[in-house]
Structure 1
Amino acid sequence: MSSPTRRSVTSPTAEQRTVRRRRTLVVLAVLAAGAVAAFLTYDVTGSWEFALERRALRVAAMAVVAVAVAVSTVLFQTVATNRILTPEIMGFDRLFVLIQTLGVFFLGAGTVTSADPRLRFAIEVVALVAFGAGLYRMLFGRTERDIYVLVLLGVVLGTMFTSVTLLVSRLIDPNEFLTLQDLLFASFNSVDRQLLALSAAVVAVVVGWVLRLLPRLDVVALGRDTAIGLGVEHRRVVNQALLAVAVLVGVATALVGPVTFLGLLVANLARQLLGTHRHAWVLPGAALLALLALVGGQFVLEQVFGFNSALSIVINFVGGIVFIALLIREPRQ
């Protein structure tokens, strides 16, 4: 009598995993499109043309920021080989706050708010990009301890920026301080069309450049020694990736303000949903999740709960919880 046949449990094939990832991206795209449609059309009163034009401008700004934040975070985590770090560890958001505070202190709130938006945008982008690019190039050398130096220096610089900001804030007139508070949170309500078009063009160029690095980035994610052993110029790829990170973060922050934990949320969730670390899948997944979070979150915040507070406050609160959870789980993985 022959023994009963046993069905072997096999893991999904590469083709099956590819199909599942494509379906996941399609689902995310549909959800993002649904959120955009709801945001554009829900509870429109008065002129549809005016309402759609205003809302479409906000959605376009959210899309630019979503792509910039998602791509920059994934790239930074790749070169740092650590999924709990984001570019903001270097203090981009705190430097942005410091720039706004110094501007109000020396020039006055009226001068800052009435200044040419293009001039303000240029100053903020140049300052943020120069700061990030200079530090990244200086810190990411060939030794493994560089990442720890990066984290330590980021904490020190962030603390220094915060201390100077608090000191200057105490010297600002109370009435001007109220105006300053409106400049410190990410807002999609008053985005300049020309700046949005310029930001979209810069982000598109940088993302196009990043797409050329995808195969090498997959290898860099394996670690410096492995990447060098496989013939990848690790230092060159890392420098190029970090330059892209500095530009993307600088443009997104100067356009709408800091959204600290958005990248951390979408980058890790994209890897979980897609079940891979390959950048060809993770980058579009993270970008779609970021767009869904911004548009869907803003829609729920405004239309469902009727809150007028900045979405970045909610994102930072949720992101802080996720960050703590990742810190607790990381040593076990």
Structure 2
Amino acid sequence: MRIGSVPTTCRADLEAARKIAAAHLRQLRADPRAAARERLGGYLLACEWCFLIVTTYALVYAEFAWWLKLTALVPWSLYAGFALDTITHYANHWPLFRVRWADAAWRLSAIAVLFNPREIHHVHLEHHRTYNRPDGGDVPYTPEMIGHSLWPHFGRELIGSLRVLNPLRPLADEVAALAATQPAELREIRRVRWAFPLWVALLLALDPWNTLLYFVPFVVMVGSFASELMNWTDHYPGEARHPFRLATSCEPATRAERLFAAVNHNTAATHLTHHLFPSVHWMHLAALQRALAPIYARHGAPRSLLLTTLLIGNPWRLWTTIRALDRSMRAQAGPGA
């Protein structure tokens, strides 16, 4: 974020935050163990990724009572959706293996859960770039949504998640632009898009009922929906021109919040810090954020709504989180609106 584009009331604190982050980075570069910890972090995320996919398929296709399967899949699909989104996000900033063939194999494995890491990567880079533009950063809502209920929006997003099975859906502008700059990556994106319906067709041929009744709603739909909801909780209310209120954060204050932050690898807890200093590896963001906490407090940095049992699949928390977003969005219209 350019210093000249932020409010004058927070420029001094933004400069102070940058100095704190620069000192933090110098300390990390001087520590020979930091790089080893980062590599280990990537390997552990890869192990978690495999565990999530294997467990998801076991729950979807194992033969046991339908009510027991639903009881397991409702919370699991929420937990796995957030976890897969987190791993994809981090892997797009810091490759899991830093070996070309291994990272390509990881991207290929994402077809099993209908994630397209290359496409997500370029959309996400554009998301970061928007905060350096004079017209403001990326926020999850449009002006027309202010004052209106969000329930219809989230309902449409849940049903609309099926569009991932349409390989001909429009490309984002930043992805289409790869035709001139990185055509090989665009070809990979298109191939993975076509792989999605082919993979689901194969699953339908092998086990039509479990695929229709469980894989499509709990993997295809809930996975995409979890990513959409996480984007909201990471950026709402989202003051795009204010450096300390453009995204959310949360310094865990209780044992439960520390547990949820650990499960989520501090993604929700440190998202504001990640936006301000995206070059800081995810494993070190929590320590940097603790140093920045007084600055955040002075400017009323918004608190994440996600650091709850929703991250471990509590469906009641899904309801209350969307309800909180909905009430806040309707309240923005002001009294009597």
TM-score w.r.t. length of structure 2: 0.30
Q: By percentage of residues, which structure has more helix?
A: 1
Pick 1 or 2: higher relative contact order, CA cutoff 8 A, min separation 6. Answer: 1
Higher alpha-carbon Rg: 1
